[in-house]
Structure 1
């Protein structure tokens, strides 16, 4: 099982979501909370800070653990660890995604999310109702 991290970056009442490129090998065009694979010897938190900097050129501050989702895709099984975070500095630059959007949490269900991210969408929606 591959351990992957996801950042739920909230700023001014909106959450940052990213869309995978249409030519991605896995889950083309799906929306997700940005993040990436934990490398050997790396903590999930360190991984997330590194991945967000590499993928989006943002510096973030992790505020707390949000949840875990285990999902078995046809191509591999992942353990997705999500953390709440805040942007600290930087301006979004798409290095790895087709698109990034700041959206109202109540509107998350209008996006076609990767299956492993769906439990986090549901948890966020419950927190806002």
Structure 2
């Protein structure tokens, strides 16, 4: 089974969401957290650290698993974590980014399970 992970990046009760470019078959133009498939031999933690760095140039340290699941033969992890750095998007995979409040984020076209992730974060007073 393929492993995948994404990083939930928060600041001042807002979440960083990236808009997926048209490079992908899955959810082009939709919004979600930085993440992707693991490389061979990577743990979920190593995967999320690398993917966040690649997609938006932030240094990410996972601290808590918010959710796990299986989607299309992929075991996925949604990590909350600490971060530092300056956002520089990888233009091949990401067409835009922004910080969103819970209310604004829920109005977007969200990829994968991110509507549920936002609801979990809101319920637990992260957003």
For the aligned pair, the TM-score class normalised by the smaller chain equals 0.7 to 0.9
TM-score (normalised: structure 2): 0.85
Partner of 1:77: 73
Partner of 1:58: 58
Give the 3 Å change call, closer, same or farther, for CA 86–45 of structure 1 in structure 2.
same
- Count of residues in correspondence between the two structures: 124
Give the 3 Å change call, closer, same or farther, for CA 97–56 of structure 1 in structure 2.
same
TM-score (normalised: structure 1): 0.84
- Contact 2:6/2:52 (<8 A) preserved: no
- Unpaired runs of 5+ residues, structure 1, are none
Aligned 1:5-16 pairs, distance under 5 A: 5-16=5-16
Q: State the alpha-carbon separation in 2 of the partners of residues 2 and 60 from structure 1.
A: 22
Q: State the alpha-carbon separation in 2 of the partners of residues 51 and 59 from structure 1.
A: 10
The answer to whether 1:120 aligns with 2:125 is no
Given candidates 94, 98, 113, the residue that maps to 2:89 is: 94
Partner of 2:105: 108
Give the 3 Å change call, closer, same or farther, for CA 33–41 of structure 1 in structure 2.
same
CA deviation after TM superposition for structure 1 residue 69, in Å: 3.0
Q: State the alpha-carbon separation in 2 of the partners of residues 23 and 61 from structure 1.
A: 27
Give the match's secondary structure for 1:45.
Answer: helix
Give the match's secondary structure for 2:50.
Answer: helix
CA deviation after TM superposition for structure 1 residue 23, in Å: 4.5
- Unpaired runs of 5+ residues, structure 2, are none
CA deviation after TM superposition for structure 1 residue 10, in Å: 1.0
